[in-house]
Structure formats: structure tokens, C-alpha cells
């Protein structure tokens, strides 16, 4: 069944990695003494019925028929905190504590995609800071 296991760890509930901050359940994680950092089932195909209005507008603006690269974005959990991995800055972006998480992984993944786009468009994104610091003036 999609979404119930991750690399040897059985996923028992959508909040499992929030409640178990160590999360060392697979043999690999026990061997290395740390959890992998993000856990999702790559076979979990986005449910387009659950797309947020923001993502729908973003897809229309971009001219995409599907979520494109955002299909690979999932809500992850770092040290028991919900987070999104931003490949551009190679780091985790934690979800603000005031944000209420939906009770299923599909909605959490849609939320993660939306928050990642908003973070990447933010003037506080590290790439914006790097651009300002190192941009060649031509």
C-alpha cells in the first residue's frame, strides 16, 4: 500500500515522525544512528483533487499541465518538526509552528509545495541574498 512504509520503516500514522523525534526505526537508521531526514513514499502520486488554489493558479501561470518538478516535493520531518527540503539552498525549511497541519499526507504534500514556492519567492530566501552579494554588474 502506498504511503505506509519508507526504507524499512513502517509508517503507522501521519504524525509518526512528529511524535517520534528520533525516528530510528529502520535497520539502516539504527546502524548510522540517525534518521534519514525526510520520509515519504516516492510512489505516492499527487492527488490533483487536493491541489490548493495557490498551486492551481501557479500551474496556470507557468503553463503546466501537471505539478512538474513539484511532484517530487513532499512534507518531510526533521528532528520531529515538519519541514520541506529546499534543493536550492540545500537545507530544510521548517514549517512555522502556527501552521496547522492537515491530517493526511496528500494535503501535507500540497501544503509543502505551496510553502516551498512562497519561500523561494521570498526576499528572505538565501539565493536572493547571494544574488545581491555576488551578482556581477554588467
pLDDT digits 0-9 by tens, 94-114: 999 999 999 988 999 999 999
CB 82 within 8 A of CB 19: no
State CA 53 to chain mean position distance: 18
Return the biggest CA–CA distance within the chain: 55
What is the pLDDT, as a whole number, of residue 43?
63
Report the C-alpha gap between 47 and 10 in whole angstroms: 22
Question: DSSP letter at 66?
Answer: S
What is the pLDDT, as a whole number, of residue 78?
81
Higher pLDDT, 4 or 93: 93
Report the C-alpha gap between 80 and 136 in whole angstroms: 40
Whether the model clears a pTM of 0.85, i.e. scores above it, the answer is no
Q: In the predicted model, what is the mean pLDDT of the chain? A: 82
Instruction: Count Cα neighbours of 71 within 13 Å in the Cβ-side half-sphere.
Output: 13
pLDDT band at 52 (very low <50, low <70, confident <90, very high): very high
Instruction: Compute the CA torsion angle 113, 118, 122, 125 (nearest 10 deg).
Output: -10
What is the pLDDT, as a whole number, of residue 9?
58
- In the block, cell 511524535 appears at 19
The angle that helices 105-121 and 53-62 make with each other, rounded to 10 degrees, is 60
Report the C-alpha gap between 30 and 52 in whole angstroms: 37
Residue 123 confidence (pLDDT) above 60 = yes
Residue 3 confidence (pLDDT) above 60 = no
pLDDT digits 0-9 by tens, 60-88: 999 999 999 998 898 888 888 899 989 88
Amino acid at each position: 500500500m502506498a504511503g505506509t512504509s519508507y526504507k524499512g520503516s513502517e509508517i503507522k500514522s501521519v504524525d509518526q515522525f512528529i511524535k517520534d523525534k528520533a525516528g530510528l526505526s529502520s535497520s539502516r537508521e539504527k546502524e548510522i544512528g540517525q534518521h534519514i531526514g525526510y520520509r515519504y513514499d516516492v510512489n505516492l502520486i499527487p492527488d490533483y483533487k487536493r491541489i490548493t488554489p495557490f498551486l492551481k493558479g501557479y500551474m496556470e501561470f507557468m503553463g503546466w499541465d501537471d505539478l512538474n518538478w513539484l511532484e517530487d516535493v513532499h512534507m518531510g520531518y526533521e528532528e520531529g518538526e515538519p519541514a520541506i527540503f529546499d534543493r536550492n539552498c540545500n537545507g530544510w525549511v521548517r514549517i512555522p509552528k502556527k501552521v496547522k497541519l492537515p491530517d493526511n499526507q496528500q494535503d501535507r504534500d500540497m501544503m509543502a509545495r505551496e510553502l516551498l514556492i512562497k519561500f523561494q519567492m521570498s526576499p528572505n530566501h538565501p539565493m536572493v541574498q547571494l544574488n545581491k552579494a555576488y551578482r556581477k554588474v554588467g
